[in-house]
Amino acid sequence: MSATQQVTDVDIAAAGDQGGIGQALRDYWTRVKGGEVGSLPAVLGLIVLLILFSALKPSTFFSYLNFANLLNQGTAIIVLAMGLIFVLLLGEIDLSAGFTAGTAAAVLAIALTSWGLAWPIALIIGLLTGTLIGFLIGVLVARLGIPSFVVTLAMFLALQGVMLLIIGEGGTITLRSDELLAIMNKNMPTWMGWVVWIVVVIGYAFVTLRGITARRKAGLASMATAVWAAKTGALAILLGVGVFVLNQQRQIVRPGKVACEVNDPPSPEGCIPVLQGVPWAVLVILVLLVGLTFVLTRTGFGRHIYAVGGNAEAARRAGISVQGLKIACFMICSTLAAVAGVLIASRDNSVSPTTGGAQTLLFAVGAAVIGGTSLFGGRGRMIDAVIGGLVIAVIANGLPLVTQQSGIQYVVTGLVLLVAASVDAISRKRSSPS
């Protein structure tokens, strides 16, 4: 290698550090003005909602107990939205995901109660139920060419009937597994929450720094070291505050009595403070977020999804198996819907014909779109499901504290979804060439 080439490589590798945080912010603002808004509207909306509800109901909304409840309410919606992102990236839709969750949960409950199987085997059967449903949908869409809207609408109706056949009208199956019930109703030891925090922060710092180093060695533009440090520090602070809050005393229990709130008046029996930790459901979200983000951003399979979503015909001519990819994405979506069904059953302690129904699917689609995933395909990230899911959870949690009129919740959620879809459409117009 010549001396000139060596100098050039060094200059390119160091280019990321020359601009620093200021240049990174200017570049980001340029992308936003060009239509690449990503999750920015959802993040700003989440901040506004948190401030608004905290100001209106500071003693109830802004409390340790309600913070944990908020995460619990949003977990299943987030997981369902994660699955939907795979099909939305292709420009498709799955209207049956909610009842796929309910059907998988019903099969799981039957396997535990009627068949008497151990919970790990019953869980596998429940998840495979979701995978099978996704395979059937994928084949009908990819092989036969039936629009996904029609196929999944048909499955939406059919799976309701399947759940009624399994459970019976008005019936309920109790989830008989302490291990599965613990997912949504138990918490980690306080020390474990901090261990997870350390692992996540160090893991993020290592992976991102490794990527920066690799890009610099290849002579490609990379993130400035100052920006990397700022992002890592912000992540550490944000997650650290979350762990700290969740490790606080958010519930008090009288000996031999039912739980009482932290602000309850003193009682003759006395109240024992219970120091609760991070819910296990949060760990489920973290594992799925890391794993699925890796699939979308670090594998050929993930890159092919974006390619098909951007231009299916061009992807086909490039040698990508579009049909196989669609089938795989619908299978992933339905499998994650089955995971969401397990979470819903764990939270409710039972499965009924309404599990996964009502507004579950609408909230999940709303979460993905509000978070920044495009309805037109080719644009979206796993973190969108988390951010959008938190927005939905905050609305669902905060509005009932402000007003008892449930209709307002639907109106507000619908308006938020409409605004998110409008932002998506406008940003695509601005980013597309004239």
pLDDT tens per residue, range 302-326? 999 999 988 888 998 988 999 999 9
At 253, is the pLDDT very low, low, confident or very high (cuts 50, 70, 90)?
A: low
Using CB atoms within 10 A of its CB, is residue 18 exposed (0-12), middle (13-18) or buried (19+)?
exposed
% of the chain residues with pLDDT over 90: 38
Take residue 193 and report the two structure tokens written for it.
């929450």
pLDDT at position 360 is 84
In this structure, are residues 228 and 208 in contact, taking their beta carbons and an 8 Å threshold?
A: yes
393-406: average pLDDT: 78
Averaged pLDDT score across all residues of the chain: 83
In this structure, are residues 89 and 326 in contact, taking their beta carbons and an 8 Å threshold?
A: no
**φ, ψ for residue 260, nearest 5 deg:** -130, 155
**Residue 399 pLDDT greater than 90, yes or no:** no
Beta strand pairing status for 272-275 and 249-253? antiparallel
180-200: average pLDDT: 91
Other beta carbons within 10 angstroms of residue 144's beta carbon come to 8
Other beta carbons within 10 angstroms of residue 63's beta carbon come to 19
pLDDT at position 271 is 56
The model's pLDDT over 37-79, given as tens digits with 9 standing for 90+, comes to 777 778 888 888 888 888 887 777 777 777 888 888 889 999 9
209-217: average pLDDT: 87
The model's pLDDT over 80-136, given as tens digits with 9 standing for 90+, comes to 999 999 999 999 999 999 999 999 999 999 999 888 899 999 999 999 999 999 999
pLDDT at position 292 is 94
pLDDT at position 260 is 52
Stretch among 25-34, 91-100, 228-237, 271-280 having the lowest mean pLDDT: 271-280
392-410: average pLDDT: 78
**Residue 255 pLDDT greater than 60, yes or no:** no
pLDDT at position 107 is 94
**Residue 5 pLDDT greater than 70, yes or no:** no
Beta strand pairing status for 272-275 and 350-351? unpaired
At 2, is the pLDDT very low, low, confident or very high (cuts 50, 70, 90)?
A: very low
Q: Which of 380, 342, 314 is nearest to 36 (CA)?
A: 380
At 224, is the pLDDT very low, low, confident or very high (cuts 50, 70, 90)?
A: confident
Q: Which of 143, 132, 142 is nearest to 100 (CA)?
A: 132
pLDDT at position 274 is 61
pLDDT at position 149 is 92
Record the pTM: 0.86
pLDDT at position 45 is 82
CA distance readout (Å), 60 to 56, 57, 65, 184, 264? 9, 6, 9, 21, 13
pLDDT at position 13 is 40
More confident residue, 124 or 186: 124
